[in-house]
Structure 1
Amino acid sequence: MTEVLNEQRPSMLSAIWAARYRTPARFVALVALLLPWTTTGVTFALIPWLIAFAFVDLREFPRSLLRPVCLLPIALVGLALVGTLWSDVSWPERLHAIGPVLKLLVIPLLIYQFERWPFGNWVFAAFLASCALLMLYSFAVAIDPDWSLKLYLSRGPYKVESGVAVRNYIDQSQEFGLCAIALVYPIVTLFREGRTRIATLLAALLLGFLVNMIFVVVSRTALVTLPILVAVFALLHLRWRKALLAASGMILVAVALWSVSPHLRATVAKFQGDYEMSAQDKKVSGMGSRLEYWRKSMGFIADAPLIGHGTGSIRGLFASVAADPHDNPLRGEIVSNPHNQTLSVAVQWGVLGVLVLYALWFAHLLMFRGEGLACWIGLLVVVQNMLSSLLNSHLFDFAPGWIYVLGVGVAGGLALAK
C-alpha cells in the first residue's frame, strides 16, 4: 500500500501543479463567456481570476512588463492618473473618468499568463459559444420582443424590430462581426485539411451571424468595418488571383443582399438622413451629432494641444460651449464622449496622449505578424478596434474595450509563446 501511495504521489502533485495554471485560464474563459451578456458578471468574474493569477509563477513578470506591448497600456493608464492633476472638474468626475482606462492594465497580466500556459483556446471557444447563443436569442427576440432581457434591465420603450436582447445594437454587431470574420481562418484551414464536418458546422455558424446582421439588426460601424476586415483576410491569406475572385464574389453577394434586405438599405440610408436632419433642421441624430461633437472637440484640442485639459474634462468643456437646447437641440447637447477615440484622448491628454494611443495600437499590431489562429484573432481585434474607434471611443467603452483587452492579452500571449 505504501509503495502504491508513493507511486501515486508524483502524479497527484503534477495534477495539482497543472491545475495551478489551468484555474486562471478557466476564470478568463468565464469572463469571455459573460462578456456579451452582462457587465456586472464580468466584474465579479475578474476577482477570482486575479486571486488565481497571484498564485502562478511570477518571477519573470517584472521583466515581461518592460516590453512595449505591456508597457504602453500601463503608460496610457499612468497618463490618465497624472492627467487628474491639471483637470478643472471635480475629483469625483476625474476619478470616474479613470475607470474606463484601468481595464488596459489587464493586458500585461493576460500576456504573461498565456505566453507560459497556453490555454487560450478555452477563452476563444467560450466567447464564440456565448455569441452564438446570443445570436439565437436575438432571432427569438426579433420575433417576440417580450423575451428580451432589456425589458427588465433597461428603461424606456423597446423597439420590436431591433432584435437586441441585451445592451445595445452597436455592441452586438461588434461581437457578431468579429466572430464571423474570425471564423473564416479556421474554416479555410479545416477545409484544406479535409475536415469538412467541423468546417461545415463553423460555416453554418458564420452564416448565422451574417444573416442576423443583415435581416435583424446591424450597426453602421459594423457596416464600415466588416468589408475592411474581409479585405485584410484576403490580402494576408489568399493569392492575388483568389483575392480578386473573393472580392468579386463579395461584391455580388453585397448587391444581392442589398436587394433582399430592406433593413440593410434603411441602415445605409440613415447616414444621409442623419446628416440632413442635423444640417437642415438642427436636430439630434446619430451621424449629425457626431459631426458636431468632432467640431467642438477640435476647438478644445486647439486650446490645449500638448497635454490637453486633463482627465474627465470632456463633459465640462461641452457644457461650457453648449447652446440653449430649446433654440438649437444639436448644439445644446452635453456629452462626456465625443464618439472618436483619438479625440477623446486628445481633448484630455493632448498630443502626448495621442502618441501613446497610436504607439499602443502599432505595438499590438506588430505582435500579430505571424501565422496561426491566435495571430489572426489578435490582428482582427486590433484592426476592428482601430476602425470602430473612428466613430466611437471603443477602447474606453465597456464591451468593445474588454474585447480588445481579452483579444490582445490572450492572443498576444499565445503569439509570443511561439
Structure 2
Amino acid sequence: MQDSPGFPITRLERAVQYLLLLALFCVPFSTYLTNVFAGCCLLCFGAAVATSAPLRAALRTPPALLAMALLALLALGTSWSIGPPADIASAMKKYARLLMLPIAVATSLRDPGMPARALAAFFGGAAMLATSNYLVWHDLMPASSAGWWRIGTATDSFSFKNHITIGILLSFATVTCLLGATYVQGARARVACVAAGILFSVPIIFLNQGRTGYVTLFVGMVVLFLLRVRFTPLRTTFGMAAIVLLFVGFYASSNNFKQRTDDLITEVRTDQKRSPNGLRMSYLRVGTGIVAAHPLAGLGTGSFAEVYAPTALHDWPEDELGHTRHQPHSEFLLIAAQLGVPGLLLYFAMLASLLRPALRARSFHADALVLLWVIYVVSSSFNSLLWDVTEAYWFLLLAGSLYASARFQAQPGLRPAAP
C-alpha cells in the first residue's frame, strides 16, 4: 500500500481504531467491557471495509487470510462434530475472536501509529491489573457485591483475572518494559522502564500462585537476553547463568514460588490423578488418542467435552463438571483433536506468518512481537489460550498491531495510505 493522498483514513476507520484500543485497554481487567468494545469494533470494521478500498487491500496479508481460513475451517468442522449443539455454538462463538486479528492487522497497516498506541493501551490495562494485585495484598481491594470481579487473599493476591491469566499478561508486560530499557535513550528513561518491569513482575513471583507465570517470565527473560545481547561464548554463559540464579533466588525468597514449584514436583513424582498435573496428563492421553484415531479431520469443532466425558466421569464421578471440560489445557492439542493434523498445520501457518517479519527486522516493536509470540506459544502448549477470552484478545489484537510495524520495518518500501 503506497502513500495515497486520495485515500485518507475515514472517520469510520478512526472509530474502529478507538474501539480496538479500548478493547485492548480493558483486556487485563474486564471481560465484559472487552467483549462490548470488541463487538462494536467488529461491526464498525464491517461497515468500514465496505467503504474503504485500502482497508480491503490491507486484509490481503498472510496472517489475516490465514486467520480467516482457520475460522472457516472451524465453521466447516461443525458439520462433522460429535459435540452437542450447545457445545458447537459455544466453540464457534469463542473462535469468532479470530476476526480480531485481521482487524488489528488492517487498521495498523493503514496507520503506523497504531502499534505504539496498542502497546500503550495494553500497558494501561496491565497497570490497573498489577495495582489491583497490590491492593489485594494489602487488603485494600474492594470486593464486588454484584460478583463482577473476584479477589484473592494476601497469600494468593489475584483480582479481576485468575492467576494463570495474570501471570501470562504481566510476564509480557515485564519483559517488554525491560526490552524498552535497552532501546530508550537517557538514564532516567532506562530506570523508569526497569522500575516498571519490576512492578509488573512482583505480583507474578511474590503475590500470586500461578505456575504458568513463572514459566512465561523465565522464557521471556531468556528470549529478551537472546534478542538484545551480542553473542559470545562468555556473554551467553554468564547471561544464562544469571537468569537461572535469579530464579533460584525467587525460589528461595518467595513462599508462593517455592510452594507451587514443590507441589509440581510432588505431582509429577507421585502421579497424582486429581492434581492439576494429573488432569493435564489425562487430557494429553485422551487428546493424543483422538488425533491418532482421527488424524485427517478430528472429531469436529466443539467436540472435546463429549469425547472426554467418559474419562472425567470415571476419574471424578462426584464432579458435577464431568460433562463440561471443553478444552484440554493445550491449544495445539485442542485444535488437532477438533480439526486433525491439517487444522493444526493451518494454525501453525498463521502463527508463523505473524513471526516472519519480526525475524527480519530489528526494532522495539519487532522484538516486542517476538516476545509476545514466544510467550503465547509456550503458554499455549499447556493452556488453551485461543479458547480463553482474555488471552485470545490479548494476543490477537497486539500481534496484529505489532505485525504491521514489523512488516513496515522488514519492507522499507511499504507505506500506509496517508491519513
Q: TM-score, normalised by structure 1?
A: 0.87
5 Å-filtered alignment, 1:58-137, equals: 58-120=52-114, 121-137=116-132
- Range with bigger deviation, 348-357 or 66-75: 66-75
Q: Which one of the candidate residues 123, 133, 139 is aligned to 1:138?
A: 133
Match of residue 262 from structure 1:
255
Shift of 1:286: 1.0
Residue pair 1:25, 1:119 contacting (<8 A) in 2 also: no
Q: What amino acid does structure 2 have at the position aligned with 1:395? A: L
Whole-Å separation in 2 of the counterparts to 1:411 and 1:259: 37
Match of residue 30 from structure 2:
38
Shift of 1:184: 1.7
Shift of 1:414: 2.0
Shift of 1:394: 0.9
Q: What amino acid does structure 2 have at the position aligned with 1:140? A: L
- Residue aligned with 1:183, SS: helix
Match of residue 174 from structure 1:
168
Residue deviations 1:50-99, cap 9 Å, x none? 45543476213444434322111111101110001111233232121112
Q: What amino acid does structure 1 have at the position aligned with 2:309? A: A
Whole-Å separation in 1 of the counterparts to 2:9 and 2:287: 53
Residue pair 1:115, 1:415 contacting (<8 A) in 2 also: no
- Residue aligned with 1:102, SS: helix
5 Å-filtered alignment, 1:177-196, equals: 177-190=171-184, 193=185, 195-196=186-187
Q: What amino acid does structure 2 have at the position aligned with 1:73? A: A
Whole-Å separation in 1 of the counterparts to 2:264 and 2:54: 50
Shift of 1:201: 1.6
Residue deviations 1:111-147, cap 9 Å, x none? 1111121222122112112211221220110221762
Whole-Å separation in 2 of the counterparts to 1:187 and 1:146: 31
Q: What amino acid does structure 2 have at the position aligned with 1:335? A: R
Residue pair 1:72, 1:356 contacting (<8 A) in 2 also: yes
Shift of 1:325: 5.0
- Residue aligned with 1:37, SS: coil
Whole-Å separation in 1 of the counterparts to 2:62 and 2:48: 25
Structure with more of its chain in helix, by fraction? 1
Residue pair 1:69, 1:363 contacting (<8 A) in 2 also: yes
- Range with bigger deviation, 107-116 or 318-327: 318-327
- Residue aligned with 1:367, SS: helix
Distance 1:267 1:145, change over 3 A: farther
Residue deviations 1:7-63, cap 9 Å, x none? xxxxxxx9x967665443222221111111111101111244345543476213444
Shift of 1:245: 3.4
Match of residue 381 from structure 1:
372
1:249 equivalent in alignment to 2:239: no
Distance 1:216 1:243, change over 3 A: same
Match of residue 28 from structure 1:
20
- Residue aligned with 1:349, SS: helix
- Residue aligned with 1:163, SS: strand
Distance 1:287 1:304, change over 3 A: same
Q: Which one of the candidate residues 348, 352, 362 is aligned to 1:362?
A: 352
1:316 equivalent in alignment to 2:297: no
Match of residue 417 from structure 2:
none
Residue deviations 1:274-300, cap 9 Å, x none? 3356x35x4x22111100111111222
Whole-Å separation in 1 of the counterparts to 2:36 and 2:63: 26
Report which structure shows greater RCO (CA 8 Å, sep ≥6).
2
Percent identical pairs in the alignment equals: 24
Shift of 1:249: 2.4
- Residue aligned with 1:85, SS: coil
Q: Which one of the candidate residues 215, 225, 230 is aligned to 1:224?
A: 215
How many residue pairs were aligned? Answer: 398
Q: CA RMSD in A?
A: 2.8
Match of residue 416 from structure 1:
407
Greater CA radius of gyration, 1 or 2? Answer: 1
Match of residue 5 from structure 1:
none
Distance 1:252 1:151, change over 3 A: farther
